[in-house]
Amino acid sequence: MPELPEVETTRRGISPRIKHKTIENVTIRHRQLRWPIPANLKAKCKGQIIKDVSRRGKYLLIKLDTGTIIMHLGMSGSLRVIDCNIPPEKHDHIDIVLNTDKCLRLRDPRRFGAVLFTTGDPLEHKLLKHLGPEPLEKDFNATYLFNKSRKRNLAVKLFIMDSKVVVGVGNIYASESLFKAGIHPKKAAGKITKEQYASLARAIKSVLKAAIKSGGTTLRDFTSSDGSPGYFSQSLKVYGRKGEPCSKCGKTITHSVIGQRATYYCTHCQK
DNA sequence: CAAAGGTCCTGCTCGC
DNA sequence: TGCGAGCAGGACCTTT
């Protein structure tokens, strides 16, 4: 479910509703996510004021007085701010209870997500320290991609999905961006020209921006923090469109598996 | 039974 | 022979 636009949509949804609020309690129903929820999380959070809600890649950073909650939504996670008296459902693993009769509730059926805590600089945390640039920042550009990709022989789709290269480009938007840039997803990253990378960097930025603007992509059950769906799925040009006509040339959209992930592209438009 | 939006970790191969 | 970099595959889990 969540790629960068979905995480950003979530951040924007929850931030105004939890910022400056005090955490009264933390209810953990299922500790075992990708990693166990830290045993001391409740003690670390109780009584703390939420100072800020930011994002690095797909990690959400909830800054408290003395430390930061690091959250990742994994493959199926979602966050909502709801009334505490709404009974939790099967996959509602943790409630961060606020002093407003509301709580921040994490639902994650597949439990690939994470809830961690750090007292240090979260950007120096093991999981965040080696992340590549943010795709919407200026340091993510043709020169960066070109230099970073020299002597890399893997498929360009896998290259741009590598969080050490750039954060936030997941399986859907990788296919969409490569289509927009006219680059074949299996082409070796190291054989792509600087001009093509200029086009790809622009495509990634514009696809992600457009997706954020429309509230993310809804596939299956993604809803933003207020329960409304994202509408970007209507704008997807190739993802999930195997067998349909290409919107540029009319030839049939191809599906194949790259690095164990579904990939969609047009063999006529993408070389 | 296969596949679904993520990504860390392990272990192998290759080249210096 | 040793070491680091790059890369493929496995692992985690539930639902449709």
Q: What is the pLDDT of residues A212-223, one digit of tens each?
A: 988 876 554 444
In three-state secondary structure terms, A17 is helix
Strand B, CB < 7 A, residues 176-195 of A: none
Closest nt to A73 (CA→C1')?
B6
Closest nt to A126 (CA→C1')?
B8
**Catalytic positions of A:** 2-3, 58, 261
Q: How far is the CA of A35 from the C1' of B9 (A)?
A: 13
Q: Kindly tell me the sign of the dihedral angle through the C-alpha atoms of A41, A44, A49, A54.
A: negative
Model confidence, pTM: 0.95
Please tell me the predicted confidence (pLDDT) of residue A195: 97
Q: How far is the CA of A253 from the C1' of B15 (A)?
A: 39
pLDDT-derived band at A1, boundaries 50, 70, 90: low
Instruction: Give the tens place of pLDDT for each residue, A17-49.
Output: 999 999 999 999 999 999 999 999 999 999 999
C-alpha A187/C-alpha A65 separation (Å) is 47
